[in-house]
Amino acid sequence: MIGVFDSGFGGLSTVKELIKLFPQHDMLYLGDSARAPYGNRSTETVIKYTQEGVEFLFSKGAKMVLLACNTASTDALRFLQQKYGNEKKVLGALIPAVEEALEKTKYGNIGVVGTRGTIVAGNFEKEILKRSVFLYHPASKKAQKIPKVFSQSCPLLVPLIEEGWIKKPETRMILKKYLLKLKSCHIDTLILGCTHYPLLEKEFAKKMGKNCILINSGKAQAQKFKEYLHLHQEIAQTLSQNGTRQFFTTDCPERFAELGSQFLGQKIGDVQKIEF
């Protein structure tokens, strides 16, 4: 089974993309809604919560776990990968989005939006700049320029989206304010580095204009995971394919099912509550 962990139900936007590419794979999802949002929490807290969530998924039979949550990927991925080594595989949401942004950027002006925790940590920026050497490699005919990264935290967007205020003028106004600086930097590629932002993708597109490519981190994660499994047949073969989905939450299952279906794009039936 593929395990997917998120701070709440936002990671279901990643599951939606995974289902498109892996319709038969069994999936287990845990959303830690009782302790969400993670976006404003300290790194230590996010590591502790993420580790508990990931271990729960492994204990339920996940053969590998994807961190759909960008904040958890920022704070906890490296810690977990070092802790588990090759024993238990955990993959994050950042590097797939970074790779896609570097593949698609025309002029190397890359913007990143995310929660406060994600943006303050600066990991998107570090990962982009780490790879920028490849843009200079003589064998690469891609770009002549070192990428420039412009980041913006958008802490109000998660609560607005969870309130269902996607089409409200207040949300559009706040988004416009958040994007002002990025627009003035002539961003040509923008990473939506948060599970919730795909729900506002049309608004982001309208505000950034048609010359800016949007990178949906969940979509990038699903696509790169496909490529990863292609290269790692030994892991691909351990993943069962009976088309089952199991959903777990640490908070109210009814609210999870109701809000989660907007992210998943389909109705969620049975949700089980767990406690740590």
User: Is residue 118 close enough to count as binding ligand DGL by CB under 6 A?
Assistant: yes
Write out the two tokens for 177.
Answer: 């304010």
Whole-angstrom CA distances from 234 to 174, 179, 190, 225 are: 47, 43, 34, 14
Pick one of 4, 27, 39, 76: the residue that binds ligand DGL (CB under 6 A).
39
User: Is residue 196 close enough to count as binding ligand DGL by CB under 6 A?
Assistant: yes
Buried b (16+ CB within 10 A) or exposed e, 168-191: eeebbebbeebbeebbeeebbbbb
Q: Which helix (H) or strand (E) holds 100?
A: helix 94-104
69 an active-site residue? Answer: yes
Judged by DSSP in three states, 27 sits in: strand
Beta-bridge partner residues of 148 = 109
**Least distance to ligand DGL from the beta carbon of 194, Å?**
4
Estimate the crossing angle of helix 201-208 against helix 169-184, to 10 degrees.
50
User: Is residue 10 close enough to count as binding ligand DGL by CB under 6 A?
Assistant: yes
Active-site residue among 154, 185, 194, 212? 194
User: Is residue 218 close enough to count as binding ligand DGL by CB under 6 A?
Assistant: no
Rounded to whole angstroms, the Cα distance separating 203 from 185 reads: 19
Question: Between 39 and 260, whose beta carbon lies closer to ligand DGL?
Answer: 39
**Least distance to ligand DGL from the beta carbon of 69, Å?**
4
Segment contacting ligand DGL by CB under 6 A, of 2-10, 94-102, 143-151, 207-215: 2-10
User: Is residue 194 close enough to count as binding ligand DGL by CB under 6 A?
Assistant: yes
CA 253 from centre of chain: 22
Question: Between 96 and 114, whose beta carbon lies closer to ligand DGL?
Answer: 114
Instruction: Report the residue closest to ligand DGL, judged by CB.
Output: 39
Q: Is the Cβ–Cβ distance between 71 and 117 less than 8 Å?
A: yes
User: Is residue 153 close enough to count as binding ligand DGL by CB under 6 A?
Assistant: no
Q: Is the Cβ–Cβ distance between 210 and 190 less than 8 Å?
A: no
Segment contacting ligand DGL by CB under 6 A, of 17-25, 119-127, 194-202, 264-272: 194-202
Rounded to whole angstroms, the Cα distance separating 15 from 11 reads: 7
User: Is residue 38 close enough to count as binding ligand DGL by CB under 6 A?
Assistant: yes
Pick one of 64, 69, 95, 208: the residue that binds ligand DGL (CB under 6 A).
69
212 an active-site residue? Answer: no
Segment contacting ligand DGL by CB under 6 A, of 37-45, 53-61, 101-109, 230-238: 37-45
Segment contacting ligand DGL by CB under 6 A, of 171-179, 191-199, 207-215, 249-257: 191-199
Size of the site for ligand DGL (CB under 6 A): 18
Amino acid occupying residue 226: K
Pick one of 3, 37, 53, 111: the residue that binds ligand DGL (CB under 6 A).
37
Q: How far apart are the first and last CA of the chain?
A: 21
Rounded to whole angstroms, the Cα distance separating 11 from 50 reads: 13
The residues carrying an active-site annotation are: 69, 194
Chain residues in the site for ligand DGL (CB under 6 A): 6-8, 10, 36-39, 69-71, 114-115, 118, 158, 194-196
